[in-house]
Amino acid sequence: MTEPAPHMTPEQFRQHGHEVVDWIADYWSRIESFPVRSQVSPGEVRAALPPAAPERGEPVSAILADLDRVVLPGLTHWQHPGFFGYFPANTSGPSVLGDLVSAGLGVQGMSWVTSPAATELEQHVMDWFADLLGLPAAFRSTGAGGGVIQDSSSGANLVALLAALHRASRGGTVRHGVEPDRATVYVSAETHSSMEKAVRIAGLGSDAVRIVEVDENLAMRPEALAARLERDVARGYTPVLVCATVGTTSTTAVDPLAQLGPICQRYGVWLHVDAAYAGVSAVVPELRPLQDGVEWADSYTTDAHKWLLTGFDATLFWVADRAALTGALGILPEYLRNAVTDAGTVVDYRDWQIELGRRFRALKLWFVVRWYGAEGLRAHIRGHVALAQELAAWAEADERFDVVMPHPLSLVCLRPRWADGVDADVATMTLLERLDDGGQVFLTHTTVNGSAVLRVAIGSPATTRAHVERLWALLRENHDWLATDFAAAAAEREAARAAAAAVLQGPAPS
């Protein structure tokens, strides 16, 4: 006889659920006791795990013990207040709780009919966020467009491209695919790599990508875009999409939407705005001028899972004309047919994304926005921007560092100064490694105009002024220590070089 499956009963779930929530709360309380960057070597985590899956079920207490023993040492702690790397990946209590509810409900929101609340709450929350971010009326569900939660901005970039291809081909891609030798896509060298990946996935191939020149602030040059479009059209290409970035990954450069928009319109090209990190800053009215011209956008993506207190995945994606999106992605197999879909009176979000199935992600955003309120979200963003401006001011006043590139938000790029003769890139990367090895802070780097710089992305919800002060102290202390070391090595090299040159020249004439 087959044994019944040993499901966790609701009462057991209640008990263990409390234990797990306690474990998470304890983790957050003691997060500063961990080194920010994981210190394990490759293979160490797997070596601590049994080779085969357990034959017999185990108690939750054993799983929790292994979280401490195996998992925590193998984590880089993105919620640590000393985490200044990449861009942040915020989470928060309300976000986790909303996600827990979503997991507990376990509904699929692929069609309106499969759980009407999953669709309508998402539509509603997306309209709220369009309002909160000051986005154009066309993006609201009440107009021709609308918003949808995607898994990532990389995914949103792909979805935008598919919609643009659909529009440019007047629906032709759905029947006979793309025309890889004709379609062109415009980015800058600073555009996120996911856009080129989208071009490849869409079947255009990287040759379709045109890299538009940038100005001294690394922003796309409108006249260069216009010239490239002009040339491509004259040669018989079909420009499909321009990807403008608000807040580039490397330095938070901002492409000038107000100037790029009219050019896109003139050539009938889809303007996609990738504001993955920076877009959510528009909850703060005084930061909205960065996105002036956003009303020209055909589509727009920003990640609540980076800087807006919502756990991955929560990409907010809007289109001005939903027909292009659903035209590209809509498909209706018989088994999904139902009366309301047939009547066309509802939104079926499966037609707005790559996958069919979808989680009830709106819940975590709803929890976040209701818990914090708009004023709480504004305070969160304003706090980090103010800290970044302070850090930049300290660095500008210090002879050991240069602040490179504008820093309108919460990313500051610092180029350490080194003595003549020192290989600046090697010294900068050594400084970075020393800081990250130290465990109190974690930074990453980029290159600007070919030389290495340190990126300080302030965005962890737990980061306070004291943490930024500590980072600043560590930057200076470690710079001092290394500068002496590197300068001595450079002086030794120079002395050795001079001695070798003297030997080559032979003895001085007597």
Ligand X SMILES: Cc1ncc(COP(=O)(O)O)c(C=O)c1O
- Rounded to the nearest 10 degrees, how much is the dihedral formed by the CA atoms of 498, 499, 501, 505? 130
* Smallest gap from residue 444 Cβ to ligand X (A): 11
Piece of the chain touching ligand X by CB under 6 A; list 101-109, 152-160, 333-341, 402-410: 152-160
Q: How many angstroms separate the CA atoms of 259 and 292, rounded?
A: 9
Told to check if 359 binds ligand X by CB under 6 A, we report: no
In whole angstroms, what is the distance from residue 253 CA to residue 219 CA?
6
In the list 92, 119, 154, 259, the residue contacting ligand X (rule: CB under 6 A) is: 154
Task: Choose one: 148-156, 288-296, 317-325, 357-365; the region binding ligand X (CB under 6 A).
Answer: 148-156
Distance, in Å, from the CA atom of 277 to the CA atom of 308, rounded to the nearest integer, reads 9
Distance in Å, CB of 261 to ligand X, minimum: 18
Options 147-155, 347-355, 416-424, 469-477: segment touching ligand X (CB under 6 A): 147-155
In angstroms, give the least distance from the CB of 78 to ligand X. Answer: 12
Strands (E), 190-336: 209-212, 238-245, 270-274, 299-303, 315-319
Q: Report the residue number, 196 or 303, with the smaller CB distance to ligand X.
A: 303
Q: How far apart are CA 489 and CA 495, in angstroms?
A: 10
Closest CA to 227 of 263, 198, 254: 263
> Do 138 and 145 touch, CB atoms closer than 8 A?
yes
Q: How near is the Cβ of 245 to ligand X at its closest, in Å?
A: 5
3-class SS at 35? coil
List, in order, residues 6 or more apart from 143 with CB less than 8 Å away. Answer: 137, 320
Binding residues among 194-223 for ligand X as defined by CB under 6 A: 194
* Of the candidate residues 34, 83, 84, 87, the single one contacting ligand X (CB under 6 A): 87
Give the whole-angstrom CA distance, residue 463 versus residue 447.
25
Per-residue x/- track, 246-265, ligand X (CB under 6 A): --xx----------------
Q: 145: alpha, beta or left, given left = phi > 0 and alpha = psi -120 to 50?
A: beta
Give dist(CA 172, CA 167) in Å, integer.
Answer: 9
Taking the complex as a whole, how short is the minimal distance between the CB of residue 232 and ligand X, in angstroms? 24
**Please, what is the minimum distance in Å from the beta carbon of residue 306 to ligand X?**
7
Query: Could you tell me the smallest distance in angstroms from the CB atom of residue 79 to ligand X?
Result: 17
Please choose, out of 137-145, 163-171, 174-182, 244-252, the segment that lies near ligand X by the rule CB under 6 A: 244-252
Nearest approach in angstroms of CB 104 to ligand X is 25
Choice from 153, 238, 341, 353 touching ligand X (CB under 6 A):
153
Q: Burial letters for 407-442: b for 16+ Cβ neighbours within 10 Å, e otherwise? A: bbbbbbbbbbbbeeebebeebbebbbeebbebebbb
Residue 405 Ramachandran class (φ > 0 left, ψ -120 to 50 alpha, else beta): left
Cβ proximity of 457 and 87 under 8 Å? yes
Stretch that binds ligand X, among 97-105, 203-211, 270-278, 441-449 (CB under 6 A): 270-278
Say whether 429 sits in a helix, a strand or coil. Answer: helix
CB 118, min distance to ligand X, A = 21
CA dihedral 69, 72, 74, 75 (to 10 degrees): 180
Smallest separation, CB 156 to ligand X (Å):
8
Residue from 91, 102, 111, 152 touching ligand X (CB under 6 A): that is: 152
* Span 277-296, contacts to ligand X by CB under 6 A: 277
Q: Does 245 bind ligand X (CB under 6 A)?
A: yes
**Which span sits near ligand X by CB under 6 A: 242-250, 329-337, 354-362, 451-459?**
242-250
312-341: contacts with ligand X (CB under 6 A): 315
How far apart, in whole angstroms, are the C-alpha atoms of residue 269 and residue 265?
A: 6
* Residue closer to ligand X (CB basis): 86 or 237: 86
192 binds ligand X (CB under 6 A): yes
Helix 465-505 and helix 362-396: axis angle, to 10°?
50
Stretch that binds ligand X, among 37-45, 274-282, 341-349, 388-396 (CB under 6 A): 274-282
Residues near ligand X, by CB under 6 A: 87, 152-154, 192, 194, 245, 248-249, 274, 276-277, 303, 315
